Amino acid sequence: MRPIIGIATQTLEAIPGELPACWIMGQSYVQALRSVGAIPWIIPLLPDDEATLREIFERLDAVFLTGGVDVDPSRYGEAKQPCCGRTDPPRDAVEIQLIRWAIEAGKPILAVCRGIQVLNVALGGSLYQDVPSQLPNAIKHDYFPTRENPSRNRLVHSIEVQAGTRLAAALGESRPIVNSMHHQAIKCIAPGLITSAVAPDGVIEAVEGANGRYIVGVQWHPEELISQPGQKQLFASFVAAAQSR
């Protein structure tokens, strides 16, 4: 039996008044998990139906958290600043619930980009609402694709990986160069997490669980770098942890 990995979706207001709202998920995440042997399971956003969400959760072996819009700052006790982007409150609610249940049940968690941010918030940490304006000495992290340069796998900055971490074991390098498509970042790291990689400016680029369980978050997009053995191994190690439960 291949392990089932749950992936919460995001809301897409197709064309209000014309086409119904959708719950969607980017294909590269699903393909990355499938490529290392997981059964990807796309989860609808049902924050008001905890019983259904719980039944879905019970069938999962692990939880995967993807990139997407900003976590609502109310989730970490801040007012939303103009520099904060669009939010998806139903997604925040469902992902935070799944994270808490996964931690209670000891189910592995892998979190990417927005995923590391919502993981940190779910466990009591906070975020920079906008790195360029709130951390003016930071390097550029917001290499969002444009029509002229649509690349999502552009390698733009190094990270310093903490020796002895799950991340170090998966990547097999201490200072790899990664892609970077984020304008937010962890501000205060949550209790229960440790920093496992930082960018040259000190911005937290990866965290993991302090208790030894498989809880790994990365700020870059490994699903776009899956042709690199170390980045693929990150997914493989997660699916192996889900399999061995």
Among candidate residues 141, 157, 183, 221, the one labeled active-site is 221
Among candidate residues 95, 208, 223, 224, the one labeled active-site is 223
Q: Alpha carbon of 67 to those of 110, 125, 138, 199, 233: distances in Å? A: 12, 18, 21, 19, 19
Segment interacting with Mn ion (CB under 5 A) among 5-13, 111-119, 180-188, 236-244:
180-188
Structure tokens at 239: 């699916």
Three-point CA angle 79, 85, 89, nearest 5°:
70
Residues 13-72 that bind Mn ion (CB under 5 A): none
Q: Which is nearer to Mn ion, 66 or 180 (CB)?
A: 180
CB of 205 to Mn ion, least distance (A): 6
Three-point CA angle 33, 34, 38, nearest 5°:
75
Catalytic residue flag (residue 95): no
The residue whose Cβ lies closest to Mn ion is 180
Q: Which is nearer to Mn ion, 97 or 196 (CB)?
A: 196
Residues in contact with 217: Cβ distance below 8 Å, sequence separation at least 6, in sequence order? 65, 109, 110, 111, 112, 115, 116, 119, 120, 193, 206, 207, 208
114 is a contact residue toward Mn ion (CB under 5 A): no
Residue for token pair 């995967």 = 64
Among candidate residues 113, 141, 182, 205, the one labeled active-site is 113
Q: Which is nearer to Mn ion, 9 or 120 (CB)?
A: 120
Q: Which is nearer to Mn ion, 141 or 232 (CB)?
A: 141
Three-point CA angle 199, 166, 189, nearest 5°:
50
Segment interacting with Mn ion (CB under 5 A) among 49-57, 138-146, 168-176, 233-241:
138-146
Catalytic residue flag (residue 223): yes
Segment interacting with Mn ion (CB under 5 A) among 25-33, 62-70, 137-145, 189-197:
137-145
Structure tokens at 25: 């998920």
158 is a contact residue toward Mn ion (CB under 5 A): no
The residues that bridge with 204 in the sheet, in sequence order, are: 198
Select from 158, 180, 184, 228 the one that contacts Mn ion (CB under 5 A): 180
Evaluate whether 165 touches 132 at the Cβ level (below 8 Å).
no
Evaluate whether 173 touches 161 at the Cβ level (below 8 Å).
yes
Segment interacting with Mn ion (CB under 5 A) among 50-58, 76-84, 141-149, 162-170:
141-149
- Would you give the end-to-end CA distance of the chain in angstroms? 12
Select from 91, 107, 114, 141 the one that contacts Mn ion (CB under 5 A): 141
Catalytic residue flag (residue 205): no
179 is a contact residue toward Mn ion (CB under 5 A): no
Catalytic residues: 113, 221, 223
Binding site for Mn ion (CB under 5 A): 141, 180
